Amino acid sequence: MDALFRAIGFVVVQWGQAEQSLDLLVAALFQECGGKRLAKKNRMPVMLAPKLEFVRKCVSQLPKLAPFNEEGLALVGAFDRLSQKRHDLIHGAVASLSPVGDAFSFVKLDVKDNFHHAREVRLQASEFPALTKDLVRLGADATALARKVWDQCVKPT
């Protein structure tokens, strides 16, 4: 069980770092790069999906961010890809306190058409090293892009 808690704890901490860097990127785009006009109702996005859509729009539509289009879209894709696994692990309930085979099992309740539907989510020991690497990379890439965008949009005084 300690291994499971360490694994989930790592996901929580590393995702927090990555999303905080995404928040810095969103703030730079919104406040310094002209992205405010692309935001819904001129408000900075707060939830993950709107933040990712905002970044996508900014790097695709703002001319001064053209050099970061490919990198920005790749970052959005990585967040999209990893967010479902993170969401399932964080919001799922542990179904077994010990591994079944080489995996821990969770039950995730989803709401569809006003009904709860249960589904199994598995965290296999063999997939955790890749997930770890992907989450560390996500945080590093989000930090790097936030810095580049800041440097591009904020003129030194």
Residues 6+ apart with CB under 8 A from 62: 29, 33, 34, 35, 38
pLDDT at 102: 87
| Mean pLDDT for back-to-back runs of 10 residues, the chain (157 residues) | 85 97 98 96 96 98 96 98 93 86 90 94 89 97 97 80
Q: Return the sign of the alpha-carbon dihedral for residues 14, 20, 23, 25.
A: negative
